[in-house]
């Protein structure tokens, strides 16, 4: 019998927080919209190159035609797919790259049929995902509900795994952060800055636990020789303080905006003390360490995505809207809906005050990518 599934709902509502992958709906600054979509497109194009290169260089079909038998389906999974459309771009890119690779084999073979599995938390809106599936797709599609920190596929059933901008969401806020008696109690802040050693250690501890669970599950699910491409927002190389990165500054200013609401008597200090973002932005070294500990994958390539859109000037309004779209769900759960407008009014002001810092610092955010290959035990 297959192991009994662990379908316990995690503390964090992943669905709410994956909103960052959705097309923006609010706001009317057309210029910013197109800028945003250009940025997205830039990231997607850069990610496409990573996929193509991974398949071309690292997917060894030729010497593993029993594992990658083209008369059987080639199975692809996107972990943390949200509701599209980015997951569909990824699926298309992977299917095309693998198809080309089969086509380029010395000994001519059939093309396999592709089965693409879209995975996300059970609270994800799979109805929207399914209704948005591209009509002219060249693969069979399936949805897989469940936390990717647990097993969600049978063993050795996947040939290619993909996970983009999802693994920085922790399965939960580390306990110590919210424990008044712990040295890691994160008073007056909503995330780590990198300065408070105990806090960042607790966050890293949770990230490490989650990554270990993720890699352990994927190691069972992916065939020997199978690939996994991961994208994750991370700490830029050589940078030690998260608070000096774009994302770190955004979170830090959101925390201080919440503390302003405490000063104004709108929310309680306790409510801010007990609120923390379940996110961790790892460094390349930290990722390498966890992958080595897991010992089931070779790290074929690691780096930061390079896309020209990184050099656009900082846009205060757009950034404020984006952060609101991402955080609105989690903020409402903790503080209620009423304070949102005032919060983001204060927040936008703080972004404006820090325009010069952001315009310089924002480029230090790193869109990390990793290409892993499942070892042949």
Binding site for its own copies (CB under 8 A): 1-2, 4-5, 7, 71-73, 95, 99, 111, 113-115, 117, 122-123, 125-127, 130-131, 133, 135-146, 151-157
Number of continuous H segments (helices) and E segments (strands) in the chain: 11, 7
* Shortest separation between residue 106's beta carbon and its own copies, angstroms: 20
Residue holding tokens 């599609």? 141
What is the smallest separation between the CB atom of 71 and its own copies, expressed in angstroms? 8
Distance of closest approach, residue 314 Cβ to its own copies, in angstroms: 38
Smallest gap from Cβ 334 to its own copies, in A, equals 23
Taking the least distance from each CB to its own copies, the nearer of 27 and 145 is 145
Closest CB 141 distance from its own copies, rounded Å:
7
Here the tokens at position 14 are: 């992943």
CB 73 within 8 A of CB 114: yes
Query: What's the maximum distance between 2 C-alpha atoms anywhere in the chain?
Result: 73
Token duo for residue 184: 């890691």
Provide the minimum distance between the beta carbon of 143 and its own copies in the complex, in angstroms, as a whole number. Answer: 4
CA dist 340 → 10, 251, 275 (Å): 25, 15, 15
Between 71 and 181, CB nearer to its own copies:
71
In the bound state with its own copies, the residue whose beta carbon lies nearer, of 95 and 316, is 95
| Helices marked H in 186-315 | 197-221, 246-263, 269-273, 284-294
Neighbours of 272 (CB within 10 A): 21
Query: What backbone torsions phi and psi does residue 369 show, to the nearest 5 degrees?
Result: -135, 150
158 vs 153: CA distance, rounded Å: 8
Which residues sit opposite 299 in a β-bridge?
A: 372
Residue 190 to residue 258: CA distance in whole angstroms: 9
Looking at residue 169, the DSSP 8-state letter turns out to be B
Least distance (Å) from its own copies to the CB of residue 308? Answer: 32
Q: Which is nearer to its own copies, 223 or 305 (CB)?
A: 223
Q: Are 279 and 326 in contact (CB under 8 A)?
A: no
Closest-CA residue to 126 (of 78, 161, 198, 59): 78
Contacts of 192 (CB under 8 A, 6+ apart): 186, 199, 200, 203, 242
Q: Toward its own copies, which CB reaches closer, 135 or 356?
A: 135
Decide: 128 and 83 in contact? Cβ < 8 Å: yes
The tokens for 44 are 């997607």
Q: Which is nearer to its own copies, 33 or 102 (CB)?
A: 102
Judged by CB, which is closer to its own copies: 95, or 249?
95
Q: Whole-number minimum distance, CB 332 to its own copies, in Å? A: 20
Smaller CB separation from its own copies, 63 or 71 = 71
């Amino acid at each position: 019998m297959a192991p009994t599934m662990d379908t316990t709902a995690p503390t964090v509502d992943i669905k709410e927080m994956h909103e960052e992958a959705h097309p923006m709906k609010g706001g009317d600054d057309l210029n910013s919209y197109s800028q945003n979509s250009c940025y997205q497109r830039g990231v997607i194009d850069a990610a496409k190159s990573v996929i193509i290169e991974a398949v071309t260089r690292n997917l060894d079909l030729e010497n593993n035609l029993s594992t990658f038998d083209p008369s059987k389906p080639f199975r692809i999974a996107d972990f943390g797919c949200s509701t599209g459309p980015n997951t569909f771009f990824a699926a298309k890119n992977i299917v095309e790259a693998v198809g080309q690779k089969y086509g380029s084999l010395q000994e001519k073979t059939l093309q396999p049929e592709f089965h693409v599995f879209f995975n996300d938390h059970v609270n994800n809106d799979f109805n929207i995902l399914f209704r948005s599936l591209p009509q002219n797709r060249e693969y069979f599609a399936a949805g897989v509900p469940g936390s990717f920190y647990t097993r969600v596929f049978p063993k050795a059933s996947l040939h290619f795994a993909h996970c983009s901008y999802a693994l920085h969401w922790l399965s939960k806020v580390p306990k110590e952060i919210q424990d008044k008696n712990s040295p890691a109690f994160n008073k007056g802040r909503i995330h780590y800055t990198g300065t408070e050693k105990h806090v960042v250690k607790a966050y890293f501890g949770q990230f490490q636990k989650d990554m270990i669970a993720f890699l352990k599950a994927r190691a069972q699910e992916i065939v020997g020789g199978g690939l996994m491409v991961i994208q994750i927002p991370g700490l830029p190389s050589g940078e030690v303080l998260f608070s000096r990165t774009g994302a770190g500054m955004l979170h830090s200013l959101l925390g201080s905006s919440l503390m302003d609401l405490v000063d104004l008597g709108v929310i309680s200090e306790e409510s801010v003390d007990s609120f923390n973002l379940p996110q961790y932005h790892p460094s390349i070294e930290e990722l390498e360490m966890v992958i080595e500990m897991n010992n089931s994958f070779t790290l074929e390539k690691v780096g930061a995505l390079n896309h020209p859109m990184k050099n656009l000037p900082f846009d205060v309004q757009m950034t404020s809207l984006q952060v609101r779209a991402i955080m609105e769900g989690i903020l409402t759960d903790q503080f209620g809906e009423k304070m949102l407008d005032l919060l983001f009014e204060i927040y936008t002001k703080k972004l404006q005050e820090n325009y010069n810092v952001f315009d310089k610092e924002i480029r230090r955010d790193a869109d990390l990518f990793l290409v892993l290959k499942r070892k042949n035990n």
